[in-house]
Structure 1
């Protein structure tokens, strides 16, 4: 036996004991910082509805109501970012836009060919529809 080898006797589990012993707290690898963040986020239940709200205006209101569009992450970004995304929904997100989108709850997708982050197709479509509905409202006025 070499000097740095450590021999551990074979463990035979008792009835009801798992066949693979669980690690003791002092035997675990230090958790990565993102694991602690994920654990903290999972501790709070997600109670928000997971439905995409329509951006089309009901005929009787003449405009999009606050509750129709406010659930989408887009409405939690700054006006500057909203203007930029409205003009360029398919463009690669720069650092400021990426930070704003993620901070508002959006989930950008990575372009495998360029490595850039962009809005997903559903978010691009949402912004196009929103822009069109606002354009239609301006023409009515």
Structure 2
């Protein structure tokens, strides 16, 4: 059961960088593909897919935050980058729930303590969105 309390890794204001693999792992998908993955996740979860951070400048990345250590259970297709325990020194920007957090924002609201994106469902959606069958 989750509480209504924000996780301690969500800042009160602005944004902070956090080392992936400690409080969460992250799966990063670029631009419209990231938005498409999020759309399908939101549909499958009744509009509450878990913590998703969106970058609204540059590469327009979408970061799906999954439980720490869980990303290594899957092979992620090209186009999805894993930030987790099997990589070294990769940081993810985490915005505050409100205020000036440009260029980052919570896509579906800030998470509550213990809330993450379902890594199994995310892998299924990402694989369906990004996998390109080899030419015959």
What band does the TM-score fall into relative to the shorter chain?
under 0.3
Higher fraction of helix: 1
Normalised TM-score (structure 2): 0.27
Larger Rg: 1 or 2? 1
**Structure of greater relative contact order (alpha carbons < 8 Å, 6+ residues apart):** 2
Normalised TM-score (structure 1): 0.27
